[in-house]
Structure 1
């Protein structure tokens, strides 16, 4: 039986994209890293082309990164990949699943429908209602509907004057169609990333802040540590990711004074937290899952995977 041809959609040269392509190549002998910026959909010939590669002729496509930054344009890229899906190519995760998570509001509503505990959240177009919510919350975070790694988020605390809050709300609205306001959770300087592959729990790592930023993201100077989750916490993560149909994801969880809350579920999830925090090669676990789902796995798991330098 021929080994499957599986492409990775992501950012060429970035570690997380390249390491996944490395793992798939080790298992199948085929390698293709696809940048959606250079993909062409030819409806007249029924092709989805990346250079000379027709993505509709592949066995599978793994979406590691649809765009460097979430934006409405990312949804257009997902629709293009859906064309290959309609042609019978298996996409990991499905375009329907990742499409529902690109927009923060649609992702939040799915969590709410699943009765997942979250920080208090209000959504409105009204500047006056937004101002009242910020003051009621005491400390609040304005979150763009399209963003990752806390980019574009604005934290407003009790020390801000009314004029400063109104100015921040006006600035936010210049680039956003609606106010998405979440009460700032009282953290202990860390939050958690819980990793799932095919709906199965893999590990949990902590993102620990550098005390110079209100958020704990690596983008803002945080670092990864291992975290030993109890069964109740794992069950919360499992319920959260079950609100979607994802082949690989991380669930962002915070431990607060009022119990654990879920911030969000990632459309794609990263590998560095599992690698640096837990010592687990999640990219290989994911690659093996992909082959198993395709039903064409005819290789054995690699017994020893060399650690790759992380540059992104």
Structure 2
């Protein structure tokens, strides 16, 4: 297996990218980190290059992070990876599988089509419909279709002042044509990251709020802790991730006043939460998994 050439697509210098590249190096003796911003696709030769490195000649690439923030251009980067797949380079997770998770709406539609419980949600481009949704829900979270770690999200509540409410919604819509509006539920100050490798459940960490922030993300001061969910929640998270066929992912789950709900399935999954929260070296586990897959198809 030491002769295999495996690249890590991620953000050079970022912790998760570097620990994954280190794990690849331990197993193969080689270490290649690729930032998609530096990639060039030549459709005539069908080469995907980074300088003098031809990714089309690699055995596999592992996608840890496709961009710093999500946007429609992130989808374009994934399309380039489809060229590699067509040439026989194995991509973990598959480009089309990741594509279905980058857009929040695409993920939500798939989850609801599989009857996965989620917070009450309204999708609309209409200001009037958005006003009605806020009035119906009482308190809402407006979410961009492309974002991670709660970036760009805002809380809008019914304050009995229609003019102020409409102004808040119009401010959000100025940046986001399609409005994703979710009822803000009462949560116990934490939500769960449930880790899956090849569809197998590995464990759960909790993101626990340390302040009065409405969300528990690490960007907002949340901390990782170990957590043992019920069998019911494990079964729910397992069902939630199955339609996406991801090689590695985490499922964001919360225990709300209406029961366990799923917020989303991650396009890439969190290494740090698993490491700090439950002591799982997901980078090493992931590389072992990739090597097993490559050996099985050799």
Q: TM-score range by the shorter chain?
A: over 0.9
Tell me what 1:165 maps to. 165
Counterparts of 1:198 and 1:232, CA distance in 2: 20
Q: Is 1:235 aligned to 2:225, yes or no?
A: no
Counterparts of 2:276 and 2:229, CA distance in 1: 17
Tell me what 1:70 maps to. 70
**1:158: Cα distance to partner?**
4.0
CA contact (8 A) 1:122 1:181 kept: yes
Counterparts of 1:203 and 1:2, CA distance in 2: 29
Structure 2: which 5+ runs fail to align? Answer: none
Query: For 1:30, what is the secondary structure of its paired residue?
Result: coil
Structure 1 residues 133 and 210 mapped into 2: Cα distance closer, same or farther (>3 Å)? same
Q: Is 1:262 aligned to 2:262, yes or no?
A: yes
Counterparts of 2:265 and 2:160, CA distance in 1: 30
Query: For 2:243, what is the secondary structure of its paired residue?
Result: coil
Counterparts of 2:270 and 2:192, CA distance in 1: 13
Q: What are the residue-to-residue correspondences of 1:123-272 with 2, within 5 Å?
A: 123-159=123-159, 161-272=161-272
Of structures 1 and 2, the one with the larger relative CO (CA 8 A, separation 6+) is 1
CA contact (8 A) 1:4 1:296 kept: no
Tell me what 2:13 maps to. 13
**1:186: Cα distance to partner?**
0.8
**1:295: Cα distance to partner?**
1.1
Cα displacement string for residues 94-121 of structure 1 (whole angstroms, at most 9, x for unaligned residues): 0110001111111101101111000001
**1:234: Cα distance to partner?**
0.7
How many residue pairs end up in the alignment?
A: 298
Tell me what 1:94 maps to. 94
Structure 1: which 5+ runs fail to align? Answer: 298-312
TM-score in terms of structure 2 length: 0.97
Counterparts of 2:247 and 2:129, CA distance in 1: 38
User: Over the residues paired in the alignment, what is the CA RMSD in angstroms?
Assistant: 1.5
Query: For 1:148, what is the secondary structure of its paired residue?
Result: coil
Query: For 1:19, what is the secondary structure of its paired residue?
Result: helix
Structure 1 residues 123 and 3 mapped into 2: Cα distance closer, same or farther (>3 Å)? same
Cα displacement string for residues 103-162 of structure 1 (whole angstroms, at most 9, x for unaligned residues): 111110110111100000111111001100011101101010000000000111344733
4+ residue runs of structure 1 moved beyond 3 angstroms?
158-161
CA contact (8 A) 2:249 2:269 kept: yes
